[in-house]
Amino acid sequence: MTKKDHVKIFDTTLRDGEQCPGATMTLPEKLRVAKQLERLNVDIIEAGFPIASKEDFESVKAIAGVITEDVEVAGLARCLTKDIDAAYKAVKDARKPRIHVFLATSDIHLKYKLKITKAQALKQVKEMVAYAYSLCKNIEFSAEDASRSDKAFLAEVVEMAIQQGATTINIPDTVGYSTPEEFAAYFQYLQKHVPSFKKACFSTHCHDDLGLATANSFAGVRNGARQVECAVNGLGERAGNCSLEEIVMAIKTHSAAFNIDTRINTKEIMPASRLVSKITSFPVAPNKAIVGYNAFRHEAGIHQHGLLANKATYEIMSAEDIGLQSDDLESGLVLGKHSGRHAFSFRLKQLGFNLSDDEITKCMERFKDVADKKKHVYDEDLIAIVKTAADLDAQPMYKMEYFSVTSGDRQIATATIKVKRGKKSVLKSAIGNGPVAAIFSAIEAATRFKFQLKDYTIRSCSVGREAMGEVMVQIEQDGKSAVGIGASTDILEASALALLNAINRLVINKAAKRLKAQG
């Protein structure tokens, strides 16, 4: 039996994923994600863009120091000496360091962004890849916007990069423009027109602007790519990156047909998804492939009949493969106010959460509050509780002690809120053109935190009249944004909790940066 070709999984959750507006992570949060990626057994972790800021440099260096298993740690760099120096200094202590250099190759980027000619770009690639190789023998070169580049020029650049020491060549669909057929054609062309094609590992980096990131990545793999750059939950710039869980399970499902595989421990997929969602406060859509809550649920009678006869009738993979217990999901284990800590923590593990005892205690307190207000607490409620429990890496700056709202069709909405900061409590009232607006104005007055509201979303976490509502808000101050989530059986309380959660994230991140600057 022929040995299967290994497809490397290059995870960019901590670099491209964090560039998603509102998805900024603290250093402790990045380290937790990095260790989970290690458990997931990815081949490469792109830890960040070291030259971008002092915080980014320190994060990449810290991650390089904690990854102990057989995982490469990469730092991104433009084709500039200062970038490459910063990337090398950040990753050099990793067990397997990698410098990832990039330069745009499309006509539109060369003309309007870089303002250089093709000859100048080729010269820059030659000099900078050679310089990076003089520091580190594991070099990846990315031709930014490759899928909109002239194929002949792209082939020339790629050959030059390989000749100067690049061991991995990345062909990105930077703006998510390509289709699977078009993207496959680029790899087919490069195989024919790059003399040194077989001397490097070719890679894909696809964005999801047209919803084709996974399809394009798979097309690349079918046409010679043996590395896929992706992110947990598809997190990333604009519409996001190729979703790690989708490409991994696509390869696993079609492994025999195309003689390919990965080394991913798929049972760690759900824990990774839950952790990234919780840390970034970006909820996973219920219908999201692989990790969405409905991915392994069936309601239609015809589907249920088929499943009882044989699961393969309507499921192409098992929930156990990604770290879930399908039987428990189907039985709909329900928790209530009489449930104990053991049942609560056991169910959280089945849902993919790996929490410490202290973290479970914090979540348990919130669970009891919710259970007192409704007869049953469903899985959707538990997920919301974990996401909205007190920050696990730091105490929140502001905590709500009390709130009250009066509103009606013949009176002005008025909100009163009591917010605690440290040992001091502040009570403020405000009016608004609705109860939510009044609450937000009262919180702004109590915290003295001025912000712009960029997004406000409500969804039901579970079913029935007693269902918990989940509110997501995105706020911005001085160009920095944060996402907050709040959940409660009272949607007004959920709104207040979500806003305070977002404010806490911005305040804590700013305080951490000030301390680093002073240190």
Report DSSP letters for 248-311, one per residue. HHHHHHTHHHHTEE----GGGHHHHHHHHHHHHT-PPPTT-TTTSTTTT---SHHHHHHHHH-G
Q: Is the confidence at residue 328, as pLDDT, over 60? A: no
Residue 259: CB atoms within 10 Å: 12
pLDDT of residue 485: 86
- The mean pLDDT of the chain is 88
Helix 341-350 vs helix 379-388: angle between axes, to the nearest 10 degrees? Answer: 90
Distance of alpha carbon 232 from alpha carbon 242, whole angstroms: 9
For residue 302 the two structure tokens come to: 């015809």
Residue 14: CB atoms within 10 Å: 28
pTM score, whole prediction: 0.78
pLDDT of residue 302: 46
* Average pLDDT score over residue span 316-332: 64
Q: Is the confidence at residue 241, as pLDDT, over 90? A: yes
Whether 301-388 shares its CATH topology with 399-518 is answered: no
Name which residue leads in pLDDT, 190 or 346. Answer: 190
Residue 65: CB atoms within 10 Å: 14
Residue with tokens 């960019």: 12
pLDDT tens sequence across 358-413:
888 888 888 888 777 766 677 767 877 787 664 544 567 899 999 999 999 889 99
Name which residue leads in pLDDT, 350 or 341. Answer: 341
Q: Is the confidence at residue 56, as pLDDT, over 70? A: yes
Q: Is the confidence at residue 344, as pLDDT, over 90? A: no
* Average pLDDT score over residue span 496-518: 75
Split at pLDDT 50, 70, 90, the class of 308 is very low
User: What is the phi/psi pair of residue 209, to 5°?
Assistant: -60, -30
Torsion of CA 365, 355, 20, 90, to 10 degrees: 130
pLDDT of residue 207: 98
Q: Is the confidence at residue 181, as pLDDT, over 60? A: yes
pLDDT of residue 296: 64
Split at pLDDT 50, 70, 90, the class of 103 is very high
* Average pLDDT score over residue span 279-307: 69
Split at pLDDT 50, 70, 90, the class of 225 is very high
Q: Is the confidence at residue 156, as pLDDT, over 60? A: yes
Residue with tokens 């995870």: 11
Boundaries of every domain in the chain: 5-280, 301-388, 399-518
pLDDT of residue 185: 98
pLDDT of residue 171: 98
Most confident of 18-22, 130-134, 270-274, 364-368: 130-134
pLDDT of residue 2: 65
Q: Is the confidence at residue 333, as pLDDT, over 60? A: no
pLDDT tens sequence across 120-141:
999 999 999 999 999 999 999 9
Split at pLDDT 50, 70, 90, the class of 456 is very high
Q: Is the confidence at residue 232, as pLDDT, over 70? A: yes
pLDDT of residue 303: 40
User: What is the phi/psi pair of residue 204, to 5°?
Assistant: -115, 150
DSSP state of 409: T
pLDDT of residue 340: 72
pLDDT of residue 316: 62
Q: Is the confidence at residue 321, as pLDDT, over 80? A: yes
Split at pLDDT 50, 70, 90, the class of 311 is low
Split at pLDDT 50, 70, 90, the class of 444 is very high
Q: Is the confidence at residue 514, as pLDDT, over 60? A: no
Q: What percent of the chain has pLDDT over 70?
A: 88
User: What is the phi/psi pair of residue 464, to 5°?
Assistant: 90, 170
CATH code of 5-280, in short, is: 3.20.20.70
Query: Among 112-121, 130-139, 328-337, whose mean pLDDT is lowest?
Result: 328-337
**Superfamily of chain region 399-518:** Alpha-isopropylmalate synthase LeuA, regulatory domain (3.30.160.270)
**Fold of the domain built from segment(s) 301-388:** Recoverin; domain 1 (1.10.238)
